[in-house]
Amino acid sequence: MFEKNYIELFQENRALVERGSSGVMNALRDRALESLKTYGLPSKKLEEYLHTDVSAWFEPDWGMNLARLDMPVDMAQAFRCNVPNLSTLMYFLANDSYAESHSASRVLPDGVIAGSLKEISDSNPELVSEYYGRLADLDKTGTAAFNTLFAQDGFMVYVPDGVCVEKPLQLVTLLQSKVDLLVNRRILVVLGRGAQLKMLLCDHALSANSFLSTQVIEVFAGQDSRFELYDLEETHTRNHRVSELYIRQEAGSWVHADSITLNNGSTRNSSFVTLAGRGASLSLNGAAIADSSQHVDNLTFVDHREPDCTSSELFKYVLDGQSTGAFAGKVLVRPGSQRTVSQQTNRNICLTRQARMFTQPQLEIYADDVKCSHGSTVGQLDDNAMFYMRQRGISEKEARMLLMLAFVAEVIGMVELDALRDRLTRLVEKRFRGELSQCEGCRACR
Amino acid sequence: MNNMLEIRDLQASVADKQILKGINLTVNAGEVHAIMGPNGSGKSTMSNVLVGHPGYTVTGGSVTFKGKDLLAMPAEDRSHEGLFLSFQYPVEIPGVSMTNFMRTAINEKRKYQGLPPMAPTDFLKLIKEKRDLVKLDAKFMNRSVNEGFSGGEKKRNEIFQMAMLEPSLSILDETDSGLDIDALRIVADGVNRLKSPETAVIVITHYQRLLDYIKPDIVHVLYQGRIIRTAGPQLALELEERGYDWVIKEFEESQK
């Protein structure tokens, strides 16, 4: 119902939006507009949004930077986001604009292109138009249409056939504004045949006012490519985030994607992965830690379209206070996708009686030679383990800490980058100790 | 120390069912006590009540431990004061490594004592020394607590933890259950080597078998929540031979 205002806003400011963007991005706006008019923003009326009324997030009169005014962001703070012992190729998105950083020059392997989506689509329109908007489903969720309608810039990385980017690429997204702000981020990742890339996304809110960010990430994982994605949210309680990740995997490709919600306000992350080629392999995981009235909702959809593909999912939530969590995972095994191996697990701990978790695993199988399983649990910390530790002199508080860390460690342990794994472990511990509660972005993650 | 543990008319219940109906027991430093008795007599309840398990409610009586009111302390402080329970069923804690678990336990105790955390090298040395005592392989230290341990390994791990924490009073709750004879010998040997004139042990067991290795000074028979007989070590041998019926019969007759 709130989309009407935004549609009018777009129609009145179309020229302004398009001037600040590229031809390739502008080419999709008519379709996005039609989709948004037809489907609207997702509300609780849709089953997939039963626990998260995303449309309501759009109700406030958000500021939008359609004129692409320069909004200075304090990079010095952002640099504290450095992962110790992990040297990365660092890039920034300040609100929804690409920001050229002043960091040391980044040396990329030959043929690799990384930077502003707008600029790359200006200089390489053929390349970008081949991929941009091809995965995001404009006819399914109004938020992808919304993002496509308004997004003016973002980040793109292209890794040609056979090229391996050794250093992890780190994209830091910073929200900083004097007014409550709605931002639309777009991220495009293209990996050629046999290409390899590791990517870390750090989502931060630096100023204390409210934000709503829509984020659409499209990933093309070419044949036999390898891609790691770690999407880490450390924002604050006045942040709203609706992120959609679309991945298309060709034959023999290997993708590992983790989303970790350390600190947030209200978050909806949706992941749509299509295993489009034989023998593709996916590991899709998530961890969420929430307290007070924080809300985390992860939806995953894994589409097995070809034989011999594997997918494994592990999502774990620790909910304290009056926080709420939701997980809906669907695995679809299409006819002919023989020898599919798929496992989906969602485990949750509610630390208080007020915390709520909604979990909905779903499996649809239309092939007969498959190994598929799913399971989900909601429980409390193990009383027997608690008492065992207390008998050994470990205080109740420390015992809880150890058990909570151990619970989340299963997901963190799957992070393939050692230095990142260590940092995440420390961050999770800090978070449980309440030392990240003041987090206004990178200030706290030293 | 005399009267290290002083239990007076201890009564306790589980889920509103009265289990302990007035236990009296004094344990002095340097002593080994055995508590025997048929199933359901309250042996495990007694050990759980002493270490402060939240599932048990004390409904009467008092317990002093080294002159302090034990029942007023939270479970972790009872541990810090030197009370240790070797669990009948050691708990698996997935994701918490043995090393991390022991380091936390040791440093929490040191904090209670007003000491700084133990230096990492000292800690590793201590682990090595105590592991050897119960022949526990180094590989267990990186594993999650008790996870994937065999029955015997779990019990050896209990005695290893006992060695690490150096308690003044250890309660061994059916430590012999599920042990083969070699493991039993290792466990008993560990306990014996930790014995000193300053420490005491309460061995809870069904069988004489463990008492062949850990020699008790005093043997008690627990029946329906009361200690119905206390005697020297020969009582354990007699029970092994004749069962509990005669003791129970004599007790019941004495109550008439």
| pLDDT tens column, A141-160 | 799 999 999 999 999 999 99
- For range B132-139, the mean pLDDT: 91
* Interchain contact, B75 vs A385, CB within 8 Å: no
pTM of the entire structure? Answer: 0.89
Which residues, in sequence order, are bridge partners of residue A310?
A281, A341
Residue A443, pLDDT above cutoff 50: no
Find, among B166, B184, B222, the residue nearest to B38 by Cα: B222
How high does pLDDT run on average in chain A? Answer: 92
How high does pLDDT run on average in chain B? Answer: 94
Q: For residues A355 and B54, give the distance between their C-alpha atoms in angstroms, rounded to a whole number.
A: 23
How many CA within 13 A on the CB side of residue B147? Answer: 14
- For the stretch B96-118, pLDDT in tens is 999 999 999 999 999 999 999 99
CB B9 within 8 A of CB B61: yes
Q: What is the pLDDT of residue B179?
A: 85
A414 touches chain B (CB under 8 A): no
Q: For residues A287 and A348, give the distance between their C-alpha atoms in angstroms, rounded to a whole number.
A: 10
Q: What is the pLDDT of residue A72?
A: 73
Residue B55, pLDDT above cutoff 90: yes
B51 interaction partners in chain A (CB closer than 8 Å): 391
* Interchain contact, A388 vs B87, CB within 8 Å: yes
Find all residues with CB under 8 Å of B246, minimum gap 6, and list them.
none
Q: What is the pLDDT of residue A445?
A: 40
* Interchain contact, A392 vs B93, CB within 8 Å: no
Q: What is the pLDDT of residue A88?
A: 86
Distance between A288 CA and the closest CA of chain B, angstroms? 17
Q: What is the pLDDT of residue A102?
A: 57
B100 interaction partners in chain A (CB closer than 8 Å): 402
Backbone dihedral angles phi then psi of residue A234, each to the nearest 5 degrees = -135, 80
Q: What is the pLDDT of residue A440?
A: 37
* Interchain contact, B93 vs A396, CB within 8 Å: no
Q: For residues A365 and B54, give the distance between their C-alpha atoms in angstroms, rounded to a whole number.
A: 47
Q: What is the pLDDT of residue A441?
A: 38
- For the stretch A244-284, pLDDT in tens is 999 999 999 999 999 999 999 999 999 999 999 999 999 99
Pick the residue with more confidence: A436 or A59? A59
Pick the residue with more confidence: A72 or A165? A165
Residue A24's Cα: distance from chain center in Å? 24
How far is residue A173 from each of residues A54, A81, B163, measured CA to CA in Å? 21, 11, 51
Q: For residues A230 and A269, give the distance between their C-alpha atoms in angstroms, rounded to a whole number.
A: 13
- For range B20-39, the mean pLDDT: 95
A426 touches chain B (CB under 8 A): no
Q: CB neighbours (10 Å) of residue B9?
A: 12
A11 touches chain B (CB under 8 A): no
Q: What is the pLDDT of residue A444?
A: 36
Q: What is the pLDDT of residue B207?
A: 83
Residue B208, pLDDT above cutoff 90: no
Residue A66, pLDDT above cutoff 50: yes
Residue A53, pLDDT above cutoff 70: yes
- For range A348-354, the mean pLDDT: 96
Give the whole-number percent of chain A exceeding pLDDT 90: 80
Which of A383, A395, A403 is facing B76, going by the closest CB pair? Answer: A395
Q: Which residue of B has its CA nearest to A396?
A: B76
User: pLDDT tier at A442 (50, 70, 90 boundaries)?
Assistant: very low
B85 touches chain A (CB under 8 A): yes
Q: What is the pLDDT of residue A101?
A: 67
Measure CA of the first residue to CA of the last residue in chain A; give whole Å: 42
B158 interaction partners in chain A (CB closer than 8 Å): none
- For the stretch A6-45, pLDDT in tens is 999 999 999 999 999 999 999 999 999 999 999 999 999 9
A391 interaction partners in chain B (CB closer than 8 Å): 51-52, 75-76, 78-79, 84-85, 87
Find, among B223, B209, B180, B234, the residue nearest to B42 by Cα: B223
* Interchain contact, B165 vs A392, CB within 8 Å: yes
| Residues A337, A342, A345: CA angle, nearest 5 degrees | 155
Q: What is the pLDDT of residue B183?
A: 86
User: pLDDT tier at A76 (50, 70, 90 boundaries)?
Assistant: low
Q: What is the pLDDT of residue A67?
A: 86
* Interchain contact, A382 vs B91, CB within 8 Å: yes
Helical packing angle, A396-412 and A383-391, nearest 10°: 120
Q: For residues A133 and A121, give the distance between their C-alpha atoms in angstroms, rounded to a whole number.
A: 12
Q: What is the pLDDT of residue B2?
A: 77
* Interchain contact, A393 vs B79, CB within 8 Å: yes
Residue A438, pLDDT above cutoff 60: no
Domains and CATH numbers, chain B: 5-255 (3.40.50.300)
Kindly list the domain boundaries of chain A, sorted by start residue. Answer: 3-444
Helical packing angle, B234-242 and B245-255, nearest 10°: 100
Q: For residues B35 and B47, give the distance between their C-alpha atoms in angstroms, rounded to a whole number.
A: 10
Residue A350, pLDDT above cutoff 80: yes
How far is residue A301 from each of residues A223, A275, B78, B137, measured CA to CA in Å? 21, 11, 51, 45
Backbone dihedral angles phi then psi of residue B159, each to the nearest 5 degrees = -70, -35
Distance between B95 CA and the closest CA of chain A, angstroms? 4
* Interchain contact, B93 vs A388, CB within 8 Å: yes
* Interchain contact, A389 vs B90, CB within 8 Å: no
Q: What is the pLDDT of residue A418?
A: 87
Q: Which residue of B has its CA nearest to A403?
A: B96
Distance between B115 CA and the closest CA of chain A, angstroms? 15
Q: How many CB pairs under 8 A join A and B?
A: 76
Worst-scoring range by mean pLDDT, A251-255, A352-356, B181-185? B181-185
Indicate the burial class of B19 (C-beta count within 10 angstroms; 0-12, 13-18, 19 or more).
buried
Pick the residue with more confidence: B116 or A437? B116
Core vs surface per residue A308-334: b (16+ CB within 10 A) or e = bbbbbbbbbbbbbebbbbbbbbbbbbe
Residue A333, pLDDT above cutoff 70: yes
Question: Residue B1 is which amino acid?
Answer: M
User: pLDDT tier at B217 (50, 70, 90 boundaries)?
Assistant: very high
Q: CB neighbours (10 Å) of residue A51?
A: 20
Q: What is the pLDDT of residue A71?
A: 76
